[in-house]
Structure formats: structure tokens, C-alpha cells
Structure 1
Amino acid sequence: MTAELVRGQNHPLRETRLEITVSAATPVLSGSTAGETLRLYSQDACVHRFPVELDAVPASEERVSVVLALPPGVRFGAVAAPYVAVLGAGSGAELASFTIDGLGDESALVALEFYRRQGAWKVRAVGQGYAGGLPELLRDLGLKQPEPEPEPKPDPAPSAAQPVAGEASGWSMEERLYNQVWGMFEDLARTIAGYRSAVGFAESRLDQELDRALSDPRTRVGAAAEAARDQAMARHTDLVDQARAALDRDLAQLTAEAEVVEPALPPAYAGWDSPVWHGYAVPDEPSMAVRVGELHLPEQPALRIPMLVRLPLERGLWVDSAQDRRRAQDVAVALAARLMASYPVGGYALQVIDPSGSAASALAPLVGSGVLREPPATGAAGVTTVLSRLTERVDLVHMALRAGAPDALPPDLDPAEQLLIVNDFPYGFDDRAITQLRYLADEGPSAGVHLLLIADREDAHEYGPVLDPLWRSLLRLTAVPDDHMADPWVGHAWTYEPLLPPHGSQVLPLVLRQIAAARQAYGS
């Protein structure tokens, strides 16, 4: 759990390989100091990430400081409060964060301090500002300001490094691309947060200045009042323009990165319109994640971030059919096909419950391709049969795991991950079937049984709060664009876009036929 620090507060660190994230409303110079060593990072962006290796700090040094500095002429009191987060480089978990507010004329500050106590490292929120800027800060820390190196004059080169697909850390290209997509997701979230914070600050300051002007009877009317209002509006416009310019610069960089990364994504990460699907072959190993949609924010709707979910699924999926039932069925079928395509031959199996048979048309690609080992179960009897079989499977797997004998399962038990598609829930379900489904939602993922529910929550209103734990346990996806997704960093409301093949495309049946043919060839 993240520790949200205030000035002077300290917090123990459970990791020593750290990544520092800095978010500001204007381009900022960031860096770290240890002893007489000063490392500074680029001032071209509002969001920075840089590493701090505490294990590499010499034993003679007890402190490492994280410093921020603004360009000449800019002060922290005129922009939104900067935000600094400490992440574990190994786990990726956010360990501590600090929003540095209450600043005025300062143009440089010591944000955080890492210090060693009895062999263990802690972080302290400092927030000490310096009106004299970086030179005063460095003098206070006993450091000399680094002399700028003379810039060579080579042939004209791009002002910023060109983005490269797979430049994130990871053991494989797939893992590097996964980490890069998540890095883009975080960068966009924090960039938009900085912009919104800056605009909010400008609006708040405008209101305060107008209130002050109106509260004084001497300046409420006349030329002086008009001049005060004009000056306040000009300062507001200047702040908003600065924030928008910084936002546009960062968005352009992220857009350029997305244009490079998207074509490099493997099938499991790629959109249905990607050419990579036309050369699809069943993989030898399961993918580490799968794309279940796209996310975007209103400031830049054209910049879509792939929504990647780790495999095997840790929670079930729920396609909300409230707005378009047939489209929800199509989205679920496309998701099921994508999940199957992310696993090797025999690694994934589908089972379908369609009590009323209303999804027959949408399920036709799955049925016609032969990827279903059994036809969709219909009626109350079909619901009971499938749920009983999967519940028994989960029980057996858990008993074997608790006994420390995972290989002691019955020989006829299919080792493949199981995906159960349930259409029109809760139609055809009695109380016992609902209890079994809730059990599968809670205990199934750890036993290799996963749910893909197609349902309108209103259809189950008669059950009241009984089903609330079920809905909360599932990842809600929608059949139409909907802004119900939240990021884990700042909590923006992201618009989710479901994934469907382009109209008239044959990519879905092509992929399903490939999977069925591979199964037949391997006798699976």
C-alpha cells in the first residue's frame, strides 16, 4: 500500500532498487545527489522516471536527495504542486508518494531524502525550497553547480530521441513490450494529471484574484477594476497556455511512441486490424498478457492505450450487455478467440452455457470452426451439467494442491485452462447454480477455471445484494465505449473501447480455423 507522505514524515523502504517518478505541470529538471555526486536528468518533459540504486551508495554516504529545479523565470508557486513517487524497480509497486504544496517564490527544491539508519534505508518527505534556484540549493548541499559541457555541432539531428519499440526492461521482447505499454499508460495518466492540476490551479488563482478585486469597494468599478480583471485574466490565460504547450509536447512524444510500438505488438497484444494476425500461428508458449480493449482520455481521444491483462486471468470477465445485447455477445466471442489464440495447442479450452440459445448467431464462429469440444449447453439441465463438472474440477485441483500432490489428479482431467462463457445470466440459473457460479468466480482462477459472463445486471435485480460480491469479483467490460475504467496511479476516468474485428474482416474465423487445425494435427 502506498504511503502518502507529508513534510517531515519518514517511511521505511522494503526495496533498495528504486525508480523515482516526477510529475509537474511545467518542464522540470530532476536529479539525485549522493555525497559529492550530482546526477541531473532532462528538462524537456513534465514527467520523468529515473533509477536510484541504494545498494550502490558507498558505505561512507548516509543520504541521497532527490532535487527538482525549474527553468529561469519560473517559480513553483505559480504552477501546480509537483508530485514525486517512489516505486520498487523489481516489483513495480508504488512505495511512497509526496505532493509538494505550499511553495511560493522557490524555483528549486529538495523533494525527498533517502537516509540509512542501522543498515536499513528510509525515505523522508523534505519539500525544502530555494528562491535562489539550483545554485542556492547546491551550495546548501555542499555541491558545485556542474559546468555545462560545450555542445558539439554535428550534423542536424532530431531534438528528441526517436522512440523504439521494446526499449523497456524485460527478459524477452514480449515482456519489454508489455512493460513499455504500461509505461505509456502511466506517462499519459500523469501527464494529463499535471495538465488538469495546472488548469485547476489557474482557475483557482483567477477566482481568488477576482474576489480580491471585487471585495475592495475602491477597485470594484471603473478603470482600475477593469485593469485588475484584465491582468487576472491575462495571468490565467498565460498559465493555461503554458500547461497546454507542455501537454501538447508530451502528447506528441507519446503519440510518436505509440506509432512505433503498435505495429511491433505480438498477436495477443495487437488490435484485430493489425497485419500480424494474417500471419498468425499457434504459439509454443502461453502469452504473458492479452489485449482486452483500448483506453483513452478526452484530452487526446486519438491516442489509444492497449488495455493489457496478465495471463492466466486472475479474475473473471464480465461483458455488460445493458446497452447492446448482441454486440456484447460479439465482444465476448472475440475475447474468447483472442484468449485461445494466446495459448499453445491444448493449453486452453472453451465451454459455453447459453440457456435460451439466444447467442447462437454470435457463437457461430466458435461452433463452425470446431474449437468447441462440446456444443453450447442449453436449458436448465445443460446449466447444471456444466457447472457441476467445473465445480468438481476446481474441488479436485484444490484438494491436490493442499495435499502437495498436484500431479495426483485423475488421468481423464483435462489439464488445459478452462474458459466458461455464460450468456444471458441469470436466465436458466436456480439458487444452486448461482452458488456454483459464485464459487467458480472466487475459487476457479487459481484452479485454471475462468469466467466470461455476458449479462445485464438489471436482469438479476431480484437477487438484490446477494450477487454484489459476484459483480465486484469480475472485470467489467462494455459492449460500447464507456468511461468506467480507472488507472491505478491518479484515478482518471478512462473511456474503454471494446475490441471487435473490422466490419467485413475474416480475421476471426481465420484465427479460429488455425487453432482448430493445430488441435487436429496434434490430436488434442
Structure 2
Amino acid sequence: MNLARGQRIKLIDLIPGGQRLNIGVSIEAAGMAIDVACFGLDAQGRLADECYMVFYNQPASPCGGVSLITPAGDQSGFTVDLTRLPATIERLTVTAAIDGPGIMAQIRQGYVRILDGSREAARFAFSGSDFANERALVLVEIYRKEGLWRLAALGQGFNGGLAALIEHFGGTVAPEPQAPPSHPPSSPPVNLRKITLEKQGQSVSLEKKGAGHGEILVNLRWRPVARARQGLLGGLLGSGRTDLDLGCLFELTNGMKSAVQALGNTFGDYFNPPYIRLDADDRTGTRAEGENLRINGQHWDAIKRVLIYAFIYEGAPNWAEADAAITLRIPDQPEVEVRLDTHRHDRPMCAIALLENDRGAIKVTKRVEYYRGHLDMDRAYSWGLQWVRGSKD
């Protein structure tokens, strides 16, 4: 069934039982990043509880009734089991908001699909010609009326982005954390054996000395962060201690690609492919030596590229207070430091530095780019891996 804007229909007429369904969302808008969310609202159209906003950084409601799971062929989406929702939830409202520059009039085309398993039961299509300068959309709503769940195809433009939507639905957005005041440094000794990559895109090339590079040690250190829970996004993005993890994507010259990280217990191997090993998982930031990736430089010729990243497995993405940095130490080479000196407090993943095999030399390039997760970062660097949800417990 093709739904028109404003059309309403009983879910039971689309889905057997009218209780369990999948929702697929796709929006074609060149150069724009769009976040999709599902708000669980009460009878007054207010956010019943912050835990019932399901989006990229809170992928499921506590009852399990709504989960951020993308159906095959779509860009984003949800799986919904209405039988699990508490009685306080009367509506599920699916929205889209632009992250960064752009307006909804620039959308080439988009749709929301209602699926019975993998079978498409209904589709609501729209395009940028339906909107103007709005930066958010209220797409569809599933609501309870007279004991039955119904679907409304809304397609309403909304001024403002995700934060404005949260406030519209009665939530509170935490203020952006302020960086601590800086103090003039006391004059430290000049370290002639250290290279600090200051600007994004800046590179340094470390030539091979002798038969090989020896051990390439990548060290991550950060300052533990413990912040009080304040505001809706403050709560949704975590609280308490921060668990900052070090990891990497690697590509060998034989085409082998994968990741080395604590998440999923993929710690790697130093003496065999991929010749990269994560030595420990520091969950508090108090380990004196931090976290280390060890790359076997005797096999550097077998390695094509390595993308060093950090991600916040637990805790709020407060990169400014974490004050993180990586240091590369290679025998008979100057130490190379890359600091996370620019910040995105709504992104838990940071691609820090790219190591490339440049005719035997190690080319180190500062990246410090923030992403919503592994998949977004993978796509940005065209790694082409398949990702599934993982755990360290």
C-alpha cells in the first residue's frame, strides 16, 4: 500500500495481529548526514521517559519494544514489538534530523517502509519538494486509539534539529560541556626527540633504518571523566566513569582486512598476521601505561595501512575533559604525538591517525575525525567490513 501524506490506517490491516513490525527509513540527500530517531510519547505527546528515545547512541528501549535495527536495503530503521511497551507509551513517533549543514528541501527522495518481517506492507514516500528550510521531519507515527494501534503518515517539516525535537517532545537538552580554562604553561624543557602533529591532515614520514622498523608502539592515554547526569542528552550519552578504548582497522598487502580492539575480544596477533596486538583493556583511565597497540615493524612490508581510533565504550562522550592523546614510539625514531585537540561531544568514535606504508616508510597522518560508530568510520575510509553488535563482557 502506498500511503499519502496525512493518511491513517489500522496496523492490523497491514500486519497480521497488528503488534510486531519493522520500520525501514531511507533518505537520499547528497552531502548531508541525517539522524533517525524514535520517540516513545505519552497521551499528551510528551516524552514519557528519556530511555524511550531510541537513536544512534541509545539503540533500544529498556522494555525491548523498540530497537534500532536497519532492515535489509534501508539506511536506518527499527524493529517494534508493541506488546512490550508499557501502558504509559501511547505513541511512537519516527523523526529525521540533519546533523550539520543543509535543509530538507535538498532531499532528492525518501521513504518510510512498514514491514511484516521482510515483506513490505506499506510505504510512505516523500521528496524535498514537500519541504522548505526545515532541518527536521516528523515522518510517521504509530499511536493507540480505542484499543487498536494505528499508523499515520505525517511528513511534517520541523524547524530546528534533533535538540529542537527533544525540547518539542518535553525533553531537556544538556548544555554543551565547556572546556576547562587554560592556564599559561610553565616553560617545559624542549624535547628534540618528539614530533607533535598539530593540524588535521599534517603528516610525517619515518624512514626505515636497517632491516626493519622494530616494534611500533601506539600508546593511548586519557584522563578519567566522571560527570553528573544532567539534561536529556547528558543522560542519553552516558554518565559516570569513562571507558575509552584503543583500536585499529588494518589492511594487509594481501588484501586481508579487519579490526583489532577489546570489543569482541579481537586482540590480534603480534607474530602472525595481522602482526598487530592490543596488550590490555584499561576500563578506567588509571592504568599508568594506558592502552597499547603493538605493531610488529619487522613485518611492516606486509601491512598496507592502519587506522588508529579510540571510542567511548562506556560513559559520556566528553572528549575535552578526557584530554586524550596517542603517542607512537619506534626504535631510533623521534616520538610522534597526536592529541585529540578538537572535539565532538555527540560522537563516541574518533579516528585519530592513519599509518600508511609509503614504500617501506611509515607515513603518519593526523585525522582526529569523529563518528557515530564503527560503521560510519568504516564507510568514511572505505574499509568495507561487516559489523555486528559486540560486547566486552
Q: TM-score, normalised by structure 2?
A: 0.38
Which one has the bigger helix percentage?
1
Task: Choose 1 or 2 for highest CA Rg.
Answer: 1
Considering Cα pairs closer than 8 Å and 6+ residues apart, tell me whether 1 or 2 has the greater RCO. Answer: 2
Which one has the bigger strand percentage?
2
Q: TM-score, normalised by structure 1?
A: 0.29
